[in-house]
Amino acid sequence: MAHSEMMPPMPTRRRPVTAEQARRIAVRAQQLDGSARGVLETVRRLGFLQIDPIAAVAPAHRLVLWSRLGPHDTGELDRLLWAKRKLFEWNAFVWPIESLPLIRALMRRYRRANTTARERWVRDFLEQNAGFRRYVLRELERRGPLLGRELEDRTGRGRLGHRWWGNRQVGLMLEMLHRRGQLAVVGRRTGQRLWDLAERWYPETETIPVREAERILAEQRFRALGVRLEKGEWHAHPDVSDAPVPERVTLLSPFDRLVHDRDRAEALFGFRYRLEMYVPPAKREYGYYVLPLLVGDRLVGRAEPRFDRKSRTLELLGAWGDTSRLDEALAELAAFLRAQLV
C-alpha cells in the first residue's frame, strides 16, 4: 500500500465560520445527518470508535453506530473485526485497517517513550517482569490465541500496583504488550479479549515516521470533527458541507465524539453535559447514564433510558429539556435493542 494511495493530500487551509455554520458542519462531519451508510464506511469516516464496556443501554461503540445508522445488523461489526479483518482493535478503540501503518508508528512511540511518570512506570514494570513477559510471548506463540485467564501470573514479589489495573498483572502485561505492538486482539469470547502474537494477525504495512503519522491522524480528527475553536473563532475543515441539517432525531452515547469534549460541546451547542455515573447519587443533577438528545443540529434535551437484558425491556428513568421528539428516538432505540419499551 503506497503512502500516497492510503491518504488523500492534506488540505492547506481552513475557513472561519459562524457558530450556526459550525453546528451544522460538526453534525454533518460526524454523520449524524442521516448520511451514514454501513458500519465499515461509518468507522472509516469517523476515524475510530471508542470502546467502553459500560452497558446501561448498550456498549458505547455500538450506541455510536446506532446513533448514525439506526437499527442495523449488530453482527457486522464483529465480522469486520474478526472474520473480514477490515477493522482492528487497539488502545480501547476500533480502527479501520487502512490506519494500521499510522497506529504502528504510535506503537513504536510507546516502545521508546520514557518521559512522563506513566511511561517510566510502564518501563519499570516491563523491566522488573522481563521473565513474565517472555513467558507470555512464549505461551502465545505455542498455544495462542488465548484468553488472559489462560495465562499464569508469574510476576515477581516486587509488584507494582496501577491505578486502573491494581494488581491484575496478567491483564496489565497483555495490555502493555498490546500497546507496544507485540500482541493483537484477535477476537472475543464471552466478552473477554482473545490474544495472539501481532505478527500472526496484522498484515504487512509500510513504515511511516511517528511525526508524519501524528500529523495525518490530527488531520483525520479535524476532518471527522468538522470544526475547531481557535482564539474564540470557529474554523471549519474545507471538505465538510455547511448545508442545513435534516431534522433527524437520535440519542447520543456519553462517549460520542460530538459531545466527548464537554467544553467544546458547550461552546458549540450551548449545552452543558457531564457524565455523572461516578458522582454520588445524592449529588447528581440528572442521572447515572444520561444521553443527550439531538434534533437536527441542536442538542435540545437529555434522557436516561435503561435496558434490562433479562426482560428485554427499555425503561425511561428520566427526561429533561425539550423532549417533544424523544418518543421517536426511544422507539428506534428499542427496535435496535430488540426490546419492549415500557
> For residue range 253-275, what is the model confidence (pLDDT) as tens digits?
999 999 999 999 999 999 999 99
pLDDT of residue 3: 43
Q: Hey, what's the cell of 111? A: 516502545
Three-state secondary structure of 269-293:
HCCCCCCCCCCCHHHCCCCCCCEEE
HEC assignment per residue over 240-256 = CCCCCCCCCEEECCCCC
Q: Are residues 231 and 305 both part of a single domain?
A: yes
* pLDDT tens, position by position, 227-254: 999 999 999 999 999 999 999 999 999 9
Identity of the amino acid at 19: A
How many Å apart are CA 60 and CA 63, to the nearest integer?
Answer: 5
User: Is residue 143 in a domain?
Assistant: yes
**Number of structural domains found in the chain:** 2
Give domain status of residue 102, yes or no: no
Q: What is the mean pLDDT of residues 70-88?
A: 97
Cis (ω within 30 of 0) for the bond into 145? yes
Q: Which long-range contacts (CB under 8 A, 24 or more apart) does 276-285 make?
A: 277/54, 277/56
Can you spell out the DSSP letters for 40-51?
HHHHHHHS-EE-
> Grid coordinates in use for 206?
509500510
Tell me the residue range of the domain where 322 lies: 3-96+207-341
In-domain check, residue 103: no
Q: Residue 94 in 3-state DSSP?
A: strand
218 plus 321 within the same structural domain: yes
Contact residues for 122 (Cβ-Cβ < 8 A; gap 6+): 113, 176
Whole-prediction pTM: 0.91
Would 218 be classed as within a structural domain? yes
Is pLDDT above 60 for 8? no
CATH of the domain at 165: 1.10.10
Which of 175, 200, 225 finishes a domain? 200
